[in-house]
Amino acid sequence: MSDHATWVPHEIFQHEVGAPPSAAGLISYLRAEPVDDLLVEKKALIFRGFGVTEETLPEVMDILLPRRLAYVHGNSPRTKVGNNIYTSTEYPPELTISMHNELSYSNQWPSRLLFFCAKAPESGGATPVVDGVRWLESLDDDVRAAFAGGITYTQNLHDGYGLGKSWQDTFETDDRAEVEAFLKGTGADFQWNANGIRVSLTRPAFTRHPVTGAEVWFNQADQWHPASLGDETAAELARLLPEDELPQSVRFANGDPIPAEYVLQVRDRGIEAAQDCDWREGDLMLIDNVLVGHGRRSFTGARRILVAMSD
C-alpha cells in the first residue's frame, strides 16, 4: 500500500510539545519550531489544545500566514470578519461540500490555508481533507485521460441581482477598471453585458507541487458542473436557464461537454479518500493547498469555522 493511501493529517498537541495553553504559547512554539518544511512533508497540520480564541487568532495567523490574501475571484459565499479573515463557505448545514483546492480554477491560488474552530457544531461538521495524489490515482484511466487536455470555466456574475454572486462581491470592488485589470492579468476572456460580466478561463486539470514535484488532481470541474447539484435541481436549473447563462459552468478545454458520470466519479472518489478533521473549539488546521483538497461534512447546531489564506 502506498504512502498516499495511508496518509492522515499530522496532529500537534499542546501538552505533547510542552507549550502553555494559549495563543502566546502557540506563537512561542511556532517561532522555536518553524513549520514550513513540516507542512510540505505532512501536507496538513492540526494544532489542538492551545486555547486560541477568535480575538487572539490574528496574532497566530501573522506567524502561520505572514502574507494573508483577500478572497478575490472566490466563488463561494463567505463573510469577511477581519483582515483577510473569512467565514468558511456559508452553505446550508445539511449539505456536504465536496473536495476541492481553493481557487484551483484561477490562474493564481493560495499556497496554504488556515482553518480555525471558533465554535464546534453539535454533531458532524468535520472538515475532510484528501491527499491530491491519491485523489488523482483513484480515478479511472479514461477519466484522467479525458481531463488531461484541461478545462474551461465560465462565470456569469450579475450586477447585484440574480443567481450566484455579484461581480462586486466576487472581486471585492465596485470599480470596473479594477476588475478588468485583474482579469487581464489572469489571461481570462471577459465581456461586460447588461446584467454584469461573463468570464471564461481555461486551466489545466492537474498541477505539480512546486517543492515535491508531486502531480495532483487540481480543478473544480465537479463543483462547477450541474450534475453535482443532483438530478432534480439540475433539471430545474436547465429549465430556467440555458447553459451559457448559468452562474457557473465548465467544459473540456476543446469545448466538448464533460459527461456527468465523470464529474460524479471525481466528486465521490475524492470524498471517499478523505480523512476527517473533527473540530474542537480552539483547534486550527493548516493545509498545503496544492497537496491537499478539503471540503465539509454536514452538521447540526451552530458551527463557526474561520479561514484565511496566503501565498
Dihedral of alpha carbons 199, 206, 115, 29, sign: negative
Same domain, 115 and 74: yes
- Read off the C-alpha cell for 197: 460580466
User: What are 238's three cell numbers?
Assistant: 436547465
pLDDT at 1 (0 to 100): 42
H helix runs in 172-298, sequence order: 176-186, 221-224, 231-240, 260-272
Compute φ and ψ for 222, nearest 5 degrees: -65, -35
d(CA 21, CA 48): 9
Q: What is the pTM of this model?
A: 0.91
Same domain, 210 and 234: yes
pLDDT at residue 236 in the model: 66
69 CB-near residues (< 8 Å, 6+ apart): 84, 110, 308, 309, 310, 311
Residues 121 and 206 in one domain: no
**pLDDT value of position 252:** 97
Number of domains, the chain: 2
CATH number at residue 25: 3.60.130.10
Do residue 116 and residue 25 come from a single domain? Answer: yes
Query: By the 8 A CB rule, do 65 and 29 touch?
Result: no
**Residue 154 host element (H or E):** strand 151-158
Closest CA to 186 of 71, 78, 105, 293: 105
Q: In terms of domains, do 232 and 286 share one? A: no
Distance CA 51, CA 49 (A): 6
Same domain for 239 and 155: yes
Do 65 and 158 share a domain, yes or no? no
Amino acid in position 91:
Y
- 194: containing domain: 136-268
**Statement to judge: residues 293 and 185 lie in one domain:** no
Same domain, 284 and 216: no
Q: How many helices (H) and strands (E) does the chain have?
A: 11, 19
48: nearest Cα among 224, 280, 266: 280
How much is the pLDDT for 116?
97
**Around 156, how many Cα atoms within 13 Å sit in the side-chain half-sphere?**
15
142 and 164 assigned to the same domain: yes
Q: What are phi and psi of 175, to 5 degrees?
A: -100, 110
Please tell me the distance from the alpha carbon of residue 148 to that of residue 142, in angstroms, as a whole number: 10
Task: Kindly state whether residues 208 and 237 are assigned to the same domain.
Answer: yes
Binned average pLDDT, 10 residues per bin, the chain of 311 residues: 78 95 96 95 97 95 92 81 89 92 91 96 96 97 97 94 87 94 93 95 96 96 86 62 82 96 96 96 97 96 95 87
- Same domain membership, residue 197 and residue 109: no
